[in-house]
Amino acid sequence: MIEIKTIAVPIDFSEVAPIVAGWAKDIAKKIGAKLILINVVEDISAFDGISTDVKTLQELEKTLLEGAEEYMRSFLNKHFSDFANVKSVIVKGKVVEKIIQVAKENKADLIVIGTHGRKSLDKIIFGSVAEGIVKYSPIPVLTINPYRIKEK
């Protein structure tokens, strides 16, 4: 029988992130697993071609990382104060690749991801992260449509 000891949960801090994380937390509680919350800050190389200097892009990247750390602390305090078996990881790079990499490094047995997160321009620019995870992950993936599930 498959034993799930670690669940990776990509978090984008969108309005639906608490719903997806809540489901993952409930699953983890029921099966005694730990959670790894993953946030990926897009690498500044994604902005190649924008006419600005490197220093400005580096400052932007630093600001984005600091913002992600602050959001993650707040997210953990608000949604995981009742669950100690959670850790967070913030990395920079290509989102799908980094989520899979961090999940593998942390020996995740399952990835729980929302099918909808950030909207509009972000989706056009970055594509569907959930689709990329499902397509390329060697780890089983559970997708949750946060707009279609019933409230608990």
pLDDT tens digits for range 93-111: 999 999 999 999 999 999 9
Cβ within 8 Å of residue 143, ≥6 positions away: 113, 114, 115, 130, 134
- Predicted TM-score (pTM) of this structure: 0.86
Q: Is residue 42 part of a domain?
A: yes
| Residue 57 scores a pLDDT above 90 | no
Region 81-102 average pLDDT: 96
Structural domain includes residue 1: no
- Per the model's pLDDT, the better-predicted residue between 123 and 28 turns out to be 28
Tell me what percent of the residues of the chain surpass a pLDDT of 90: 67
Q: Residue 83 is encoded by which pair of tokens? A: 């669950």
Q: Does residue 97 fall inside a structural domain?
A: yes
Q: Is 150 within a domain? A: no
**Nearest alpha-carbon partner for 117 in 36, 25, 38, 64:** 38
pLDDT higher for 35 or 51? 35
Model confidence at 117: pLDDT above 70 = no
- Point out which residues pair with 86 in neighbouring strands: 35
Counting the structural domains of the chain, the total is: 1
Q: Is 61 part of a structural domain of the chain?
A: yes
Which has more confidence, 85 or 146? Answer: 85
Residue 55 belongs to domain with CATH number:
3.40.50.620
